[in-house]
């Protein structure tokens, strides 16, 4: 009965709170800015927008965890690796994330490639393998899909667009169930050497749009302070980051009434 209750709760939350989102964003830096991250160039761009991987000059690896509402059964684990090639030949990436626990979980594994098309424009594409598992005899469903993005850089202004599952892949024959089509579009602006502001629109074609804004403040060399807010439902986010040599460590949390806090942490290493 306990497991049935937990599973039912997770299935309800997965629908009402869009658990699919948890497979679409990664990194405590992103969460601290309410996931207004379609223009962010770090290894977690392998989840947020593959085109932004072209901002990497060194090989990078990262791991992250997000615990939705501090419920361990709603953990999402992330791992990513990005390898820039020499002479502007592009960036290869591999990524993996998993949401849920033994009785109910969703996972996504991706292989991506991004490349600068000009001094202004970059593009990226990724092939994804997705799996949804429900225990107690219900089994698993697997499928392949694609995601892709573009990024434009105009001096201090960046603009990005990302499409997930534009081919509208079918998940199951029953009720013609399909993986949702998701579109993200956003901008970021370097207000000063110490401040970056970002805004983004997230649209699942089956739901209302979500709007996000975030800010990052870099007061000293090793420290970052971040905050943000998103809509539908309203959630406030905040976090800090620290850089020690080649290591970047970030922690963050979101807060939503009445469900509480969603802590996250991530670690990146630049080779």
Asked if 55 contacts 267 with a C-beta cutoff of 8 angstroms, the reply is no
Topology of domain 2-270, CATH: Porin (2.40.160)
Alpha carbon distance 42, 61 (integer Å): 9
Instruction: Name the residue among 123, 110, 157, 127 with its Cα closest to residue 54.
Output: 123
Beta strands 139-154 and 195-204 are: unpaired
Identify whether 91 is preceded by a cis peptide bond (ω within 30 of 0).
no
pLDDT per residue rounded down to tens, the chain (271 residues): 444 444 444 444 444 344 455 577 899 999 999 999 999 999 999 999 999 999 999 999 999 999 988 898 889 999 999 999 987 899 999 999 999 988 889 999 999 999 999 999 999 999 999 998 888 777 888 899 999 999 999 999 999 999 999 998 877 676 777 888 999 999 999 999 999 999 999 999 888 999 999 999 999 989 999 999 999 889 999 999 999 999 999 999 999 988 899 999 999 999 9
Q: In 10 A of CB 27, how many CB atoms?
A: 33
Instruction: Name the residue among 269, 271, 245, 268 with its Cα closest to residue 64.
Output: 268
Please provide the size of the chain in residues: 271
Start-to-end CA distance of the chain, whole Å, equals 49
Instruction: Name the residue among 210, 159, 211, 219 with its Cα closest to residue 189.
Output: 159
Alpha carbon distance 174, 33 (integer Å): 38
Asked if 191 contacts 197 with a C-beta cutoff of 8 angstroms, the reply is yes
Residue 8: predicted pLDDT: 44
Burial of 269 (0-12, 13-18, 19+ CB in 10 A): middle
**72 contact partners, CB below 8 Å, separation of at least 6:** 101
Q: Where are the domains of the chain?
A: 2-270
Burial of 245 (0-12, 13-18, 19+ CB in 10 A): exposed
């Amino acid at each position: 009965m306990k497991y049935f209750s937990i599973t039912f709760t997770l299935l309800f939350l997965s629908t009402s709170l869009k658990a699919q989102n948890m497979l679409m964003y990664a990194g405590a830096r992103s969460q601290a800015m309410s996931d207004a991250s379609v223009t962010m160039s770090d290894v977690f761009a392998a989840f947020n927008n593959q085109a932004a991987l072209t901002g990497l000059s060194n090989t990078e690896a990262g791991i992250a965890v997000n615990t939705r509402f501090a419920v361990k059964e709603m953990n999402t684990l992330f791992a990513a690796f990005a390898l820039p090639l020499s002479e502007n030949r592009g960036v290869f990436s591999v990524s993996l994330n998993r949401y849920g626990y033994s009785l109910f979980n969703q996972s996504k594994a991706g292989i991506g490639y991004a490349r600068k098309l000009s001094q202004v424009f970059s593009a990226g594409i990724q092939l994804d393998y997705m799996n949804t598992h429900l225990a107690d005899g219900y089994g698993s469903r697997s499928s392949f899909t694609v995601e892709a993005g573009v990024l434009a850089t105009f001096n201090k202004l960046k603009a990005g667009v990302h499409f997930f599952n534009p081919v509208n892949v079918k998940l199951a024959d029953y009720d013609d169930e399909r993986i949702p089509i998701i579109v993200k579009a956003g901008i970021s602006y370097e207000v000063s050497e110490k401040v970056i502001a970002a805004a983004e629109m997230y649209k699942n074609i089956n739901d209302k749009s979500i709007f996000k804004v975030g800010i990052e403040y870099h007061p000293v060399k090793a420290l970052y302070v971040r905050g943000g807010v998103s809509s539908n439902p309203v959630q406030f986010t905040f976090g800090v980051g620290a850089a020690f040599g080649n290591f970047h460590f970030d922690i963050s949390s979101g807060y939503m009434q009445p469900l509480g806090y969603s802590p996250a942490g991530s670690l990146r290493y630049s080779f």
